[in-house]
C-alpha cells in the first residue's frame, strides 16, 4: 500500500514529524509520499516553495520509505487534493493507495474541490487529532455511515472507504510557531535543529 500525506508544513515542526513517525509504525506502507502544498486554496500563500521543500527534506531525512513529492510546490496554480490524487494514481497503476488526512481537515471535506469524487475514488485514512473527534460529529456522520470500515485491509478490496486511526496527541500547530517567531520567542524546542537554524538564517516568518 502507498500512502499519500499532504500538508502545508509552514513550517514543518516536531509535531508533523511525530505524526509521520507514528503513522509508519502503525501502518505498513510500501511507500509514503509526502506532498508539501504549494498554494492551498483554503489558506494564504506561505514561504517560498523551494525553501519549504528544503525544510521538509531536512526534517524527514531520517525516515525510510519516504518520498518527498514536489509537484504541488512546482505548480503555479492552487493545489487540489482530488487532482493530485488522480495524478499519483496514474503514476502508481495497480497499487492500493491511501490518502492520509487529519480529522480536522476531514471535518471540512465538503468544501473541497470535487470532494464527492475523492470520497468515491480514493480510500481515506483519517488520523484523529485531539479536539477534532469524529464520534457523533453530525457534519460528516452521513459520510462515515456509508464509508467507514474497521480494518484498513479493506482498502485492498475496493475504493471509497474510510478508516479512522488514533494517533498520539499532537497539539502543536504551525500557526502558533509562526506567531511565536514574529514575537521573537524561542521555538527551538519545537523544530528540528537544522530546520530552526535555516528559519533563523533566512529570517522567515518575520513579516
Residue-wise pLDDT tens digits, 18-34: 999 999 999 999 999 99
Q: What is the mean pLDDT of residues 115-130?
A: 94
Cα angle: 102, vertex 86, 167; to 5 degrees = 15
Query: Grid coordinates in use for 23?
Result: 503513522
Four-CA torsion 137, 39, 99, 126, nearest 10 degrees: -30
Lowest mean pLDDT among 79-88, 133-142, 148-157: 133-142
CA atoms of 179 and 192, how far apart (whole Å): 18
| pTM listed for this prediction | 0.92
Q: Specify the pLDDT at position 169.
A: 66
Residue 87 scores a pLDDT above 70: yes
In terms of pLDDT, which residue wins out, 80 or 134? 80
Fold of 2-170: Rossmann fold (3.40.50)
Domain ranges of the chain: 2-170
Amino acid at each position: 500500500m502507498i500512502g499519500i500525506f499532504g500538508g502545508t508544513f509552514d513550517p514543518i515542526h516536531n509535531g508533523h514529524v511525530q505524526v509521520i513517525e507514528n503513522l509508519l509504525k502503525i501502518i505498513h506502507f510500501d511507500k509514503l509520499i509526502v506532498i508539501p502544498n504549494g498554494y492551498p486554496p483554503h489558506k494564504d500563500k506561505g514561504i517560498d516553495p523551494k525553501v519549504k521543500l528544503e525544510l521538509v527534506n531536512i526534517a524527514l531525512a531520517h525516515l525510510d520509505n519516504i518520498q518527498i513529492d514536489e509537484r504541488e510546490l512546482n505548480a503555479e496554480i492552487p493545489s487540489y487534493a482530488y487532482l493530485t490524487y488522480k495524478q499519483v494514481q496514474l503514476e502508481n497503476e495497480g497499487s492500493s493507495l491511501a490518502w492520509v488526512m487529519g480529522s480536522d481537515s476531514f471535518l471540512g471535506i465538503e468544501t473541497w474541490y470535487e470532494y464527492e469524487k475523492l470520497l468515491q475514488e480514493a480510500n481515506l485514512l483519517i488520523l484523529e487529532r485531539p479536539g477534532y473527534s469524529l464520534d457523533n460529529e453530525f457534519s460528516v456522520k452521513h459520510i462515515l455511515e456509508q464509508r467507514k470500515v474497521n480494518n484498513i485491509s479493506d482498502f485492498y478490496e475496493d475504493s471509497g472507504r474510510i478508516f479512522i486511526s488514533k494517533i498520539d496527541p499532537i497539539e502543536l500547530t504551525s500557526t502558533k510557531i509562526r506567531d511565536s517567531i514574529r514575537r521573537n520567542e524561542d521555538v527551538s524546542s519545537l523544530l528540528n535543529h537544522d530546520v530552526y537554524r535555516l528559519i533563523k538564517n533566512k529570517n522567515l516568518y518575520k513579516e
